[in-house]
Amino acid sequence: MDPSKKSADLAERLTAFMAEHIYPNERRYFLETERLGPWAIYPVVEELKPLARAEGLWNLFLPVKEDPNGLSNVDYAPLCEIMGRSILAPEIFNCSAPDTGNMETILRYGSETQKEKWLKPLLAGEIRSAFAMTEPEAASSDARNIGSSIIRDGDDYIVNGRKWYTTNATSPACKIIIFMGKSDPDGEDPYRRQSMILIPRDAPGVKVIRALPVMGFYGTPDRAAEVLFENVRVPASNMLLGEGCGFEIAQGRLGPGRIHHCMRLIGLSERILERMCRRAELRAPFGRPLAEQSVTLERIAESRIMIDQARLLTMNAAHMMDTVGNKAARREIAMIKVAAPRMAQQVIDWAIQMFGGGGTNNDHFLPAAFAMARLLRLADGPDEVHRNQIGKLEIRRHRQTNADNTGSAGDVLPLDEAARMSNQGLWPRPADFQE
């Protein structure tokens, strides 16, 4: 499961780039996002992207299964972790969500024309993209509930719907939206009613209604938005894969996206733990460094344990995805999608406590990091949905196996066997309990 030499070399270069260009610019980044807001392009991002591209630290997320120059999940994991150490970093390397998921979707399911028109500029970092699935009026964690419509009209489709939490839609660089809606609302199979279609953000009828703050933050860690699609007309050739393939694409898209989130959260948590350790030796309330307080040692130790657990689970999921495929690895992907954000949220919460009042402003980027971990317990599927899936898969697995040959736990001891054992004196009798 060890990463290759190629991955190790990239990790070294990435670490050097982070030290030279990313960490020194983080404060500027937070100030720009706060001052310029969610509708702006941030100058620091535009300055740093060409540097990363020139160094060949670009599009590292591309999967080797789709691109001969790409990386396996095991090779990408340590790199994604390094980028995750800073909320600023992933976009600089053209490796940020939801663009990576959208690029992978077009790469895997798009036509040659769609690739030429949208994938090329996305891979070049010239434009950004959004993914519009969730709706305010539907319980969207069950995507079957999504009510937006994609209706064929001659050589076009007409799209109507209200979406929200459409990350990136406020960015002026966002030029293309992958939209999920119903093309066959009354179809017999509920998993074939949905389709995905490409909608240019500047198509007539697309209105970005408002930017949504995420736990009070605009711009970073997420540019969420509410978007209205009113009689939007797009050519039929904008359909991805084919009518009715929405669920199939969603499954293919969300697996890699989820593991990337987890890898980044591990990097973020690791960096925050490093800061906690340094802080613990520097601050000494009531005459004793925090590092000597047992509560601090407990929290640092628990953080270490939890981060390493999450990393091992994530590497295991990455290995499974590489070797048996995303579908067979769905249990492992669901497990890390629950474990990593929960771990990160706890580690960051302990850090905020240790940093005192200063832990609540972005001098140490802890509130933005907390918002990131917290939102990832919802985005790409809430914890409960993943746990439901893990539980169902686990029950199914044990339905099929009987490794110790003792029958299933639901079996009742047959009456004749119970009586036979009783006759043989195998059960204790009243006399056995008398003094």
Which residues lie near ligand FAD (CB under 6 A)? 98, 131-134, 139-141, 165-167, 214, 222, 224, 375, 378-382, 384-385, 388
Q: Which two tokens stand for residue 143?
A: 């995507």
Q: Is the CB of 289 or the CB of 382 nearer to ligand FAD? A: 382
* Closest CB 91 distance from ligand FAD, rounded Å: 15
The rounded distance, in Å, linking the Cα atoms of 322 and 319 is 5
Q: Is the CB of 322 or the CB of 380 nearer to ligand FAD? A: 380
End-to-end CA gap in the chain? 61
The rounded distance, in Å, linking the Cα atoms of 10 and 56 is 9
Task: Taking each helix axis as running N to C, give the angle between helix 246-282 and helix 366-375, from 0 to 180 degrees, rounded to the nearest 10.
Answer: 150
* Closest CB 155 distance from ligand FAD, rounded Å: 27
Pairing mode of beta strands 149-153, 206-212: unpaired
* Closest CB 208 distance from ligand FAD, rounded Å: 13
* Closest CB 134 distance from ligand FAD, rounded Å: 3
Q: Is the CB of 173 or the CB of 385 nearer to ligand FAD? A: 385
Q: Find out whether 389 and 332 touch, Cβ atoms under 8 Å.
A: no
Q: Is the CB of 77 or the CB of 250 nearer to ligand FAD? A: 250
* Closest CB 247 distance from ligand FAD, rounded Å: 14
Q: Is the CB of 96 or the CB of 166 nearer to ligand FAD? A: 166
Contacts of 87 by beta carbon, 8 Å cutoff, 6+ apart:
26, 29, 220, 221, 268, 365, 368, 369, 372
- Label residue 161 exposed, middle or buried (CB < 10 Å: 0-12, 13-18, 19+): buried
Place of tokens 């937006």: 148
* Closest CB 175 distance from ligand FAD, rounded Å: 15
Q: Which two tokens stand for residue 118?
A: 């949208």
* Closest CB 371 distance from ligand FAD, rounded Å: 8
The rounded distance, in Å, linking the Cα atoms of 161 and 177 is 13
The rounded distance, in Å, linking the Cα atoms of 121 and 175 is 10
* Closest CB 207 distance from ligand FAD, rounded Å: 17
Q: Is the CB of 332 or the CB of 380 nearer to ligand FAD? A: 380
Task: Taking each helix axis as running N to C, give the angle between helix 73-84 and helix 294-324, from 0 to 180 degrees, rounded to the nearest 10.
Answer: 150
The rounded distance, in Å, linking the Cα atoms of 342 and 273 is 15
Q: Find out whether 66 and 108 touch, Cβ atoms under 8 Å.
A: yes
Q: Is the CB of 187 or the CB of 382 nearer to ligand FAD? A: 382
Q: Is the CB of 98 or the CB of 367 nearer to ligand FAD? A: 98
Q: Which two tokens stand for residue 347?
A: 């580690």
Q: Is the CB of 160 or the CB of 237 nearer to ligand FAD? A: 160
- Label residue 12 exposed, middle or buried (CB < 10 Å: 0-12, 13-18, 19+): exposed
* Closest CB 132 distance from ligand FAD, rounded Å: 6
* Closest CB 2 distance from ligand FAD, rounded Å: 33
Pairing mode of beta strands 174-182, 128-132: parallel
Q: Is the CB of 70 or the CB of 382 nearer to ligand FAD? A: 382
